[in-house]
Structure 1
Amino acid sequence: MYNVKIVETAKEHEDAFAVRKQVFVEEQGVPLHLECDAEDASATHFIMYEDNAPVGAARLRNIVDDAAKIERVCILQDQRGKKLGALIMREMEKYAISINKKKLKLHAQSYAIPFYEKLGYAVTSPEFMDAGIPHRAMEKTI
């Protein structure tokens, strides 16, 4: 059984960062200093567990009064294809609504654009590079 929750404890924080490190640093080659940045201190972090094992993570940052930015969405490689990315996104959207956000923004890796489009996000920028990976800005009104 999969469970998504807001990170509240040091252990949950460590679990979220372990998933992010495995996906972004080890798998995709993003330098650690770019993956773990100053924004982590003020972001709301989410962790996904299968039973007690961490399998996914993400963070949400306030950017203006009515908008937030979804970042660092990741699912461990052996867990992909199970609609877990959509599950963590829905939970983050529910939370954003609960804190009165009207718009969500994100920078999607270009290969993942169809995933986000299925969730109602629209591309709002030309392609750009971030950490050596092609991205496009996207947003959704909630």
Structure 2
Amino acid sequence: MAHSQYRVLMLPPPGAVVAPNGFPADPRPRAAPKIFLDAMEVRIRVFCDEQNCALEAELDEDDPRSWHWVAYRSTKSGPNEPVSVIRIVPPPHDPHPNGPSDPNEEPYIKLGRVATMANHRGKGLSRLLTEEALQWLAAHRDEVSTGWKGLVLCHAQVAVEKMYAKLGFVTDESLGRWDEEGIEHLGMWKRL
């Protein structure tokens, strides 16, 4: 299916409006921008409904400070349907799960919450969003983080390691593998 059937929108960090009373927070915050709510709907349907991850943990402390992308399927008969999402999180970050702790580690951007609705998988949407986010990052380095030198980390589900490898990410064996919500993950790096 051609990517021309999809349009991609980006939302800069939405701030406290997504969790006005702190965390844990409602994953469908009423005052949040529509793009954010669309992103959350895809994430909830993929991670919570399909992969059985905890709903309470889906909206987290990184969401207010992250950039969010949503791919919409264009429809002739009604509103555009959100079908794929990604977010990028600026530094600082919590320590790596199950990995080394280096206080002198170079600041990095974390790419995550990549999800595509089941009926739209296999169409290259996760790849499209990842490429769009990385291109945007390369063009807006200082906007995302002062002093950031282009290092990007992805905590990938093991099942999609090959997709990220095709995008130039390299698995970091020193980070090991860890369980997030019952799904095995690993760390992969790329420098822009």
- 1:9-36 Cα offsets, whole Å, 9 max, x none, are 7111111100000000000000012221
The ranges of structure 1 where at least 4 consecutive aligned residues each deviate by more than 6 angstroms after the TM superposition are none
3-state SS, counterpart of residue 137 of structure 1: strand
1:104 corresponds to which residue? Answer: 152
Which one is further off, 40-49 or 62-71?
A: 62-71
User: Match for 2:177 among 116, 122, 127?
Assistant: 127
Map of 1:1-142 to 2, 5 A cutoff?
1-7=5-11, 10-51=33-74, 52-63=80-91, 67-100=108-141, 101=148, 102-124=150-172, 125-142=175-192
Q: Could you say which structure has the larger radius of gyration?
A: 2
CA 49–57 in structure 1, closer or farther in 2 if over 3 Å, else same = same
Q: CA RMSD in A?
A: 1.6
AA paired with 2:156?
A
Give me the whole-angstrom Cα distance separating, in 2, the residues matched to 1:105 and 1:53: 29
2:29 corresponds to which residue? Answer: none
3-state SS, counterpart of residue 122 of structure 2: coil
Determine if contact 2:85/2:126 at 8 Å carries over to the other structure: no
Q: Which runs of 5+ in 2 are unaligned?
A: 13-31, 75-79, 93-105, 142-147
3-state SS, counterpart of residue 29 of structure 1: coil
The offset of 1:39, in angstroms, is 1.1
Q: TM-score, normalising length from structure 1?
A: 0.93
Count of residues paired in the alignment: 142
The offset of 1:66, in angstroms, is 5.3
AA paired with 1:76?
M
Q: Percent identity?
A: 30
If each structure's strand is expressed as a fraction of its own residues, which one has the higher value? 1
- 1:76-132 Cα offsets, whole Å, 9 max, x none, are 000000111110000100111122251111100011101110111011122111122
Give me the whole-angstrom Cα distance separating, in 1, the residues matched to 2:165 and 2:67: 23
